[in-house]
Structure formats: structure tokens, C-alpha cells
Amino acid sequence: MSIADFLVIINDILLRTVSMMYFPHSFLNFTPVCSTTLVLAVAATLISVWFTVAFTFDRFLAICYPNVKAKYCTERTATVIMGIVSVFSCLVSVPWYFTMVAEYNIDNIPRGCIFEQVFLNLTSWAAFELLTISLTMFVPFFLFLVLNTLTASHVLMSGRVRRGFRGRNTGENDPEMTNRRKSVVLLFCISGSYILLWSTQVIHVLSVRVFATPYVKGSDFESVGFMLQALSTCTNTAIYVLTQSKFREQIKSAASPSHPIFLIVKFVKNWNT
């Protein structure tokens, strides 16, 4: 999930927003390039969102159905699911490439990307756009609420049952319930931050698409929604750093001088000298 969030920052923030604002005459402003960047940004957003959904569902199975944990909550299953989500997200994002046309031409080179207005009158495009919005916002919202509610209720119920069996006055800690509570806290931090930070964007889309509120491009409400949506891509990594010791160990090992990336950089520097 952290890698997927990092891809959103690269494609949606750096390559699209920052480059268009501060480097309007760079090669990133060529129409084919900025159209490709749009596709990558949409795909990265979908991947980031559905990786979070997959994590939530994995924790739901592991906590509520421990009998199937050993069979389904494995590294192999996670790899397959991540591959399917990545391929599907890329395929769904491809049509956005063909919606962009050149804003102007310099020396017969198309530059800039604007939305082709003819798509606004197509029923098929309206259905596709609704599908994309649903996959990015509405369906994940619903799944987060349902899965988190079921997981939390299961932990509370099982905690009462275990306390009843162990006795209220034993004074002993229950390691199993401690691990479950930690998992629930992590689960609510990740999915809860997504819900809070995406709420403004969801309200904006609903007001424009459902309640027919006049759309004002670049309005403050839209800008705040985009800012919070972009901020949501940074929260997962921060939560992992604060809560997961194994994740911190992996970051430290990746930053060590013996990591293959640093060895390759050192080899290139020695080769040039």
C-alpha cells in the first residue's frame, strides 16, 4: 500500500499538478505525455484505494474467521490479489487517454491537455465515468464501513466471551485479545483516515453529479477536496511507521549501505570516475 500511495504522489502530484503549474513548457506538457500521465494517475489512485480495501478485507477474515486465516491470508494470496487489482486498475484507466486533446500547438507540436467536450454528450462515457467514480469513492466507502463495523463488533463480542471463560478477576492479560485490539486499531487508522480525507471529495462529486449544483472549476471546495485526497496517500506510510516495528525494520534495511540500490549507485559512480 505504501508503494501504491507513493505512485500516486509521483504521478498525480509531481508529474501532473506540480509540473503543469511550475514547468508549463517542459516535455511533460506534450499532449501524449500529459495524457499518459493522466492514465497513470487514475490507475495509481485506483490501486491505492483497492489495496486499502484488500487490506481491510484481509484483516476482517483474519480476525472474524481465524479458521480460514492459514488458507487465505497468505503471502501468495496477497500477491495474486495485488496483481489482479493492478492489472484491472490499469485497464479501467486506459480510456481516459483518448478523452484528452491538445490545448494549443507550438511548432506543430500538440501541447496541453483538455477534456474533449464531445464525450459529455455520450451515454456510454457517462456510464464509464460513473463506474470510475463508484470504484474510487462510493464502493470503497461502503466496504470500509461494513467491514470495520463487522470486525469491531466481532472483537467486542469475542472479548466478552473470553472474559467470561477466563473469569473477571484473574488479573491476567489475554495476548490473543491484545493482538486483536492492535489489529483493529491499525485497521481503523488506515480505513478511517481514508474515509475522513476523501469525504470532501465525495461530497463535491455528489453535489455536482447528483444534486446538479453548478460546477465551478478551481473552486475552493474542489481544491480542498483534492488536497485532502492527495494527503490521504501519505497517511498509510506514516501509520505503518508509527505502529509496525517490522515495517520500520524494512525501511532501515533498505536505507543501509549494503542495499542493492546503493551498491548499484556506488558502482556507477566508480565506473564514471
Q: Which residues pair with 106 in a beta bridge?
A: 109
Give the model's pLDDT for residue 243. 59
Nearest to 5, CA basis, from 59, 57, 49 = 49
Domain extent, residue 199, equals 2-244
Residue 165 placed within a domain: yes
Give the model's pLDDT for residue 264. 56
Question: What pairing do the DSSP bridges indicate for beta strands 104-106 and 109-111?
Answer: antiparallel
Give the SS3 label for residue 264: helix
Residue 131 placed within a domain: yes
Report d(CA 161, CA 145) in Å as an integer. 24
Q: What is the DSSP string of 102-149?
A: -SEEETTEEE--EE-GGGGG-HHHHHHHHHHHIIIIIHHHHHHHHHHH
Residue-wise pLDDT for 57-67, tens only, equals 887 888 788 78
- Which segments in the chain show pLDDT lower than 70? 120, 159-180, 183, 187, 208-218, 236-273
Nearest to 10, CA basis, from 79, 110, 18, 203 = 18
Report d(CA 45, CA 258) in Å as an integer. 32
Query: Is this model's pTM higher than 0.85 or not?
Result: no
Give the model's pLDDT for residue 83. 92
What total of structural domains would you count in the chain?
A: 1
Residue-wise pLDDT for 163-214, tens only, equals 666 555 444 566 666 666 776 777 677 777 777 777 887 787 777 666 666 6
Q: Domain of 52: which CATH number?
A: 1.20.1070.10
Give the model's pLDDT for residue 103. 82
Place of cell 464501513: 145
